[in-house]
Structure 1
Amino acid sequence: MPQGDKAKYTDKQKRQAQHIEEGYEAQGVPPAEAEARAWATVNKNDGGGKKPGGAGRKKPAR
């Protein structure tokens, strides 16, 4: 996956980024900067794209 590819993000994360980007643009931030800030905010809140299911600590075998 090339750098900057948004394929691993959920639809909800994409909607959040779009909404945040529109807010930055309304404040006068240039579009490219607004997009970068929006995705940085989504990554900060959610830790990036989708995570593989079932990840977590397992109970030790006895």
Structure 2
Amino acid sequence: MPQGDKDKYTDKQKRKAEHIEKGYERKGVSDKEAESRAWATVNKQSGGGNRSGGSGQKKSSGSKATDRSDSAKQAAATRKAGSRSASLQDQTKDQLMAKARARDIKGRSSMRKQELVNALRKSN
């Protein structure tokens, strides 16, 4: 299916996009931009084309809930791991620089990331 092909959309989605597009055109938005915004809105609201076999298949609400739960568990594990000193390597240079500043490590402004990690480990 070529990019921009609307065959996978239902008639209702096509009508909705057309209606949204006309609204944008009335507001003075160019034709091309209005069409782009209209289809983006339809995709956001309905998850893309809904005909069987398309890539825009909606997930069931149970599947979404499971995904959210898994994501929350992963985020909690990441936060927990972030509190350990072994995770200095995983932090950004800016985060390491802030820690080095708080511990008043001399020469920190010219250090590379690995040097900051080493200096912070020594300062404990």
Q: TM-score range by the shorter chain?
A: 0.7 to 0.9
Q: TM-score, normalised by structure 1?
A: 0.82
Distance 1:29 1:11 in 2: 24
**Larger RCO: 1 or 2 (CA < 8 Å, sep 6+):** 1
Distance 1:37 1:29 in 2: 10
Structure with the bigger percentage of helix: 2
Is 2:6 the counterpart of 1:6? Answer: yes
Is 2:18 the counterpart of 1:32? Answer: no
Query: Match of 2:15, SS?
Result: helix
**Structure with greater Cα Rg:** 2
Is 2:44 the counterpart of 1:44? Answer: yes
User: Paired residue for 2:19?
Assistant: 19
Structure 2 runs not aligned, ≥5 long: 54-58, 63-124
Residue identity over aligned pairs, in percent, reads: 68
Query: Match of 1:21, SS?
Result: helix
Distance 2:45 2:15 in 1: 14
Count, aligned residues: 56
Q: CA deviation at 1:50?
A: 1.1
Deviations 1:1-59 (A, max 9, x none): 00100000000000000000000000000000000000000000000001538x757xx
RMSD: 2.0
Letter in 2 for 1:26: R
Structure 1 runs not aligned, ≥5 long: 58-62
User: Paired residue for 1:60?
Assistant: none
Query: Match of 1:45, SS?
Result: helix
Q: Contact 2:10 / 2:51 at 8 angstroms: preserved in 1?
A: no
